[in-house]
A = this chain, B = another copy of it.
Amino acid sequence: MRSIEVCFSPKLIHLHEVKGKLVVVVDIFRATSTMVAALAHGVTEILPFADLEACREMQKQEYLIAGERNGLTAPGFELGNSPLAFTNGKYAGRKLAMTTTNGTLAIEKSKGAAEILVGAFPNFQATANYIRSRNLDVVIHCAGWKGRFNLEDSLFAGALAQELADSHTNADDGALAMISLFSKEGPQLSSFLAQASHAKRLQNHGIEADIDFCLSSNLYTQVVGADKKGAMVVF
Contacts and interface: CB of A to CB of B under 8 A. Distances in A.
Interface in A146-196: 146-151, 154, 171-174, 176-177, 180-181, 184-185, 192, 195-196
B148 A172 contact: yes
Given A173-B197, A180-B192, A198-B173, A149 B8 contact: yes
Interface string A12-24: 1001000000000
Contacts of A192: 180
B196 A176 contact: yes
A45 to B, nearest CB: 32
B151 A173 contact: yes
A190 B149 CA distance: 25
Contacts of A172: 148-149, 197
A93 to B, nearest CB: 38
In this complex, the interface size class of chain A, counting residues with CB under 8 Å from chain B, is 20 to 34
A134 interface: no
Contacts of A11: 11-12, 15
Contacts of A173: 145, 148-151, 154, 196-198
Nearest to A151: B173
A32 interface: no
A145 to B, nearest CB: 8
